[in-house]
């Protein structure tokens, strides 16, 4: 495969999807925001717990937030501002407010431990932050060791209206006791920031494509978590790539996307928040998708047209009573990413909802979209689709040469969405960026029509008697059994084969035994791939977006 040969364009690109996008269409995310909040002023931009904010009010409140950051906190272009809140209306207000003020946004997972939080705030040079009060006690433990000087605190119900907001905040704090006591100096409440900001003057900031929009921290699967430097141009490129891939399905000003993945995660940030902004779409924010019955109840109230998620989220919905009786008549697009979508889940989703579950592939370092299944795909394919517009991909063998069609190797990516590098980490940047190509660490191959399939993570590969075994394949086979809810495979030491396959399983059918599962695997896998050990668990460890953590199982 030659670097310049994009056979997917000639053979497989679907109708209406352009080969290229213009990453310089807008100078910045702020310019783009200003354009669309005017066009879609009356449309609902975000809905959460029954409350909604339209594009006009989002604009007004974001600029009030920006004015406060500039005038009261003295923050200037390029300063780092952290946001540590779950999916609620405060998130988009703060996000766009910070961007309009010319700041670089540092997204923080609210569930971080004190150690993880300290590392990220120090590493990113964060000067100010917004945090939900439920986790303020974590910040209290480390704030003195960080550069953070200003803290804005919010309660979950702050933008739900006077009465409803007060009730929600009361229940969260006093009934459910979800707000541990904390003491933090120099704090101000979110609602006060907005009311004060409305009396101040917002000063527009001139930004260009190369200015940093986000320091988006990677999960730290190898060593310490690193901040991917994503510019305004990177983000604009990727949202235009996302929009190009799905726009033949979408109608401007008429879409409602279910946003259950957290907006602080790059997948939902780009695919839901930013992309649907340019479509005049409405984001239905789900604050706690782990409450599956509550999630299904919420879905029953809306005619949603799109939903994004990860395999575990879709699998959880399919196994929640009431989901299969929802009205899916308006659903046009279901998009899975973040981890492999398993065949059993993809096919069941199609059966229940009547829509294909399109799989995509991306990385934080690519803002994140790299490939996506074509919107006109007829059924679940098991591959990750075609490269996004203006994206090139190479498959590199161990000797550094390009692999032939059908042969596996490490996937390398090039395009306008590829990050500038890791913040203040030149060595790590040099390890992953090579002459504009990003080495993904994922093993993949391309077929004769330009479709790509991920085999597995390079570092998750299990070697049994010299044979390569990929956990994804094992997990997919285990999940084919009707009695299995979730599965994960890892390699464990074995005296004669070096490594052997061990599976961790969460059961639907509690009568299922390890022997039953090993027999099932023997029917579908060659002998060296068959698990030697089975461990049953009540649940599997997962990341904040539901990706199963094999490293914790190891």
Tell whether 181 and 259 lie within a shared domain. Answer: no
Is residue 222 situated within a structural domain? no
Residue 1 has pLDDT above 80, yes or no: no
* Residues 168, 51 contacting (CB under 8 angstroms): no
Residue 450 included in any domain: yes
pLDDT of residue 219: 59
The answer to whether residues 283 and 370 belong to one domain is yes
Percentage with pLDDT > 70 across the chain: 98
Q: What's the CA gap between 524 and 201, in Å, rounded? A: 66
Assess whether pLDDT exceeds 90 at residue 76: yes
Of 454, 471, 374, nearest to 413 by C-alpha is: 454
Decide if 366 is inside a domain: yes
Tens digits of residue pLDDT in 244-284: 999 999 999 999 999 999 999 999 999 999 999 999 999 99
- Residues 441 and 365 sit within 8 Å (Cβ to Cβ): no
Indicate whether 284 and 345 sit together in one domain: yes
Instruction: Report residue 167 as tokens.
Output: 């009730």
- Which residue among 422, 457, 492 closes a domain? 457
Instruction: Name the residue with higher pLDDT: 115 or 450.
Output: 450
Q: Which residues pair with 81 in a beta bridge?
A: 105, 128
**CA proximity to 388, closest of 250, 273, 238:** 238
Per the structure block, which two tokens stand in for 57? Answer: 């009010």
Q: What is the DSSP letter of 247?
A: G
**What was the pLDDT predicted at 32?**
98
In a domain? residue 428: yes
44 domain residue, yes or no = no
Buried b (16+ CB within 10 A) or exposed e, 502-513: bbbbebeeeebe
Cα torsion angle, 59, 61, 64, 65, sign: negative
What's the pLDDT tens digit per position in 450-500?
999 988 777 787 878 767 687 888 999 999 999 999 999 999 988 777 789
Rounded CA-CA distance 526/511 in Å is 26
Q: What is the number of H-type helices and E-type strands within the chain? A: 18, 27
Q: How confident is the model at residue 113 (pLDDT cuts 50, 70, 90)?
A: confident
Maximum Cα–Cα distance across the chain: 73
- The alpha-carbon radius of gyration of the chain (Å, integer) is 23
Q: What angle do CA 15, 379, 403 make, to 5 degrees?
A: 75
Lowest mean pLDDT among 35-49, 115-129, 277-291, 454-468: 454-468
- The whole-angstrom separation of Cα 209 and Cα 363 is 20
For the segment 202-217, the average pLDDT, to the nearest whole number, is 98
* Model confidence at 4: pLDDT above 60: no
Q: Which helix (H) or strand (E) holds 140?
A: helix 136-142
276/424 same-domain check: yes
Whether residue 169 is found in the same domain as residue 238: no
Question: Which pLDDT value is given to residue 223?
Answer: 54
Same domain, 538 and 406: no
Say how far apart CA 519 and CA 294 lie, in whole Å: 37
What's the CA gap between 145 and 143, in Å, rounded? 5
The residues facing 54 across adjacent strands are: 44
Q: What is the mean pLDDT of residues 361-370?
A: 95
Give the C-alpha separation, 101 to 197, whole Å: 12
For 324, residues 6+ apart whose C-beta sits below 8 A from its C-beta are: 318, 352
- Asked whether residue 409 falls in the same domain as residue 530, the answer is no
User: Can you read off the two tokens belonging to residue 4?
Assistant: 């310049």
Question: How high is the pLDDT of residue 220?
Answer: 44
pLDDT tens, 300-335?
999 999 999 988 899 999 999 999 999 999 999 999
Check which CATH number belongs to the domain holding 334 and give it: 3.40.50.12780
We report the CATH number of the domain holding residue 531 as 3.30.300.30
Task: Give me the residue label for tokens 């504009």.
Answer: 436
Predicted local confidence at residue 527, as pLDDT? 83
pLDDT at 312: 85
290 in any annotated domain: yes
- What mean pLDDT do residues 17-38 have? 98
pLDDT at 311: 87
Domain presence at residue 287: yes
The residue with tokens 């069609």 is 405
pLDDT (0 to 100) of residue 279 = 98
CA-closest candidate to residue 255, choices 314, 326, 333: 333
Domain shared by 114 and 16, yes or no: no
pLDDT tens for each residue of 80-111: 999 999 999 999 999 999 999 999 999 998 98
Final residue before a domain boundary, out of 410, 435, 457: 457
pLDDT band at 435 (very low <50, low <70, confident <90, very high): very high
Q: What is the pLDDT of residue 221?
A: 38
**Number of domains the chain contains:** 3
Count of beta carbons in the 10 Å neighbourhood of residue 224: 13
Shared-domain flag, residues 73 and 191: yes
Cα-based angle 291, 296, 297 (whole degrees, multiple of 5): 100
| 357 vs 450: CA distance, rounded Å | 20
Domain span at residue 141 reads 55-207
Q: What is the mean pLDDT of the chain?
A: 94
Q: d(Cα 202, Cα 97) in Å, to the nearest integer?
A: 10
Say if residue 80 is in the same domain as residue 168: yes
Q: How many Cα neighbours within 13 Å face the side chain of 238? A: 31
Same domain flag for 545 and 411 = no
Q: What is the mean pLDDT of residues 16-29?
A: 98
Q: To the nearest 5 percent, what fractions of the chain are helix, strand and coil?
A: 35, 25, 40
Each residue of 491-532: pLDDT tens digit? 998 877 778 999 999 999 999 999 999 999 999 887 889 999
- Domain CATH number, residue 103: 3.40.50.980
Which tens digits make up the pLDDT trace of 219-246?
A: 543 456 899 999 999 999 999 999 999 9
Q: Is 212 part of a structural domain of the chain?
A: no
Query: 434: pLDDT confidence band, cut at 50, 70 and 90?
Result: very high
Both 478 and 448 in one domain: the answer is no
Contact 344, 317 (CB under 8 A): no
């Amino acid at each position: 495969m030659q670097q310049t040969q994009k056979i997917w364009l000639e053979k497989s690109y679907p109708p209406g999807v352009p080969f290229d996008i213009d990453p310089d269409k807008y100078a910045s995310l702020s310019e783009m925001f200003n354009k669309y909040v005017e066009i879609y002023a009356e449309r609902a931009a975000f809905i959460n717990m029954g409350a909604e904010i339209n594009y006009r009010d989002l604009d007004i409140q974001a600029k009030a937030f920006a004015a406060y950051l500039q005038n009261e906190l003295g923050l200037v272009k390029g300063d780092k501002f952290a946001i540590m809140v779950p999916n609620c209306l405060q998130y988009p207000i703060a996000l766009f407010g910070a961007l309009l003020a010319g700041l670089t946004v540092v997204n923080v997972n609210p569930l971080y431990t004190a150690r993880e939080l300290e590392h990220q705030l120090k590493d990113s040079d964060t000067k100010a932050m917004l945090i939900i009060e439920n986790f303020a006690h974590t910040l209290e433990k480390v704030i003195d060791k960080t550069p953070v000087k200003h803290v804005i605190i919010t309660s979950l119900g702050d933008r739900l209206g006077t009465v409803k907001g007060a009730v929600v905040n009361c229940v969260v704090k006093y009934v459910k006791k979800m707000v541990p006591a904390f003491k933090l100096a120099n704090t101000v409440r979110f609602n006060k920031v907005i009311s004060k900001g409305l009396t101040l003057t917002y000063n527009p900031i001139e930004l260009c494509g190369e200015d940093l929009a986000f320091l988006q921290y990677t999960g730290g699967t190898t060593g310490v978590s690193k901040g991917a430097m994503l510019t305004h141009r990177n983000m604009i490129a990727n949202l235009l790539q996302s929009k190009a891939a799905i726009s033949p399905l979408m109608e401007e000003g008429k879409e409602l996307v279910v946003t259950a993945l957290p907006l602080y995660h790059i997948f939902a940030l780009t695919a839901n928040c930013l992309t649907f902004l340019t479509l005049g779409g409405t984001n239905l924010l789900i604050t706690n998708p782990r409450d599956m019955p509550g999630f299904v109840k919420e879905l029953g109230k809306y005619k949603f047209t799109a939903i994004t998620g990860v395999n575990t989220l879709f699998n959880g919905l399919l196994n929640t009573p009431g989901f299969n009786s929802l009205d899916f008549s308006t659903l046009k697009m279901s998009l899975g990413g973040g981890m492999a979508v398993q065949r059993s889940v993809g096919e069941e989703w199609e059966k229940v909802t009547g829509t294909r579950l399109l799989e995509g592939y991306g990385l934080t370092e690519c803002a994140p979209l790299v490939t996506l299944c074509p919107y006109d795909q007829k059924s679940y394919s098991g591959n990750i689709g075609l490269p996004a517009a203006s994206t090139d991909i190479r498959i590199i063998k161990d000797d550094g040469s390009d692999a032939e069609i059908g042969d596996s190797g490490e996937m390398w990516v090039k395009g306008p969405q590829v990050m500038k590098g890791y913040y203040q980490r030149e060595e790590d940047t040099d390890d992953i960026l090579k002459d504009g190509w990003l080495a993904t660490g994922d093993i993949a191959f391309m077929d004769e029509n330009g479709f790509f399939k991920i085999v597995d993570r390079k570092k998750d590969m299990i070697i049994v008697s010299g044979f390569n075994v990929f956990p994804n394949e094992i997990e997919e086979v285990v999940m084919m059994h009707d009695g299995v809810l979730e599965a994960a495979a890892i390699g464990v030491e074995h005296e004669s084969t070096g490594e052997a396959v061990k599976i961790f399983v969460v059961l639907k059918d509690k009568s299922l035994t390890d022997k039953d599962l090993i027999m099932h695997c023997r029917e579908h896998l060659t002998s060296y791939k068959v698990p030697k050990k089975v461990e049953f668990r009540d649940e599997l460890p997962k990341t904040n977006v539901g990706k199963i953590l094999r490293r914790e199982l190891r």
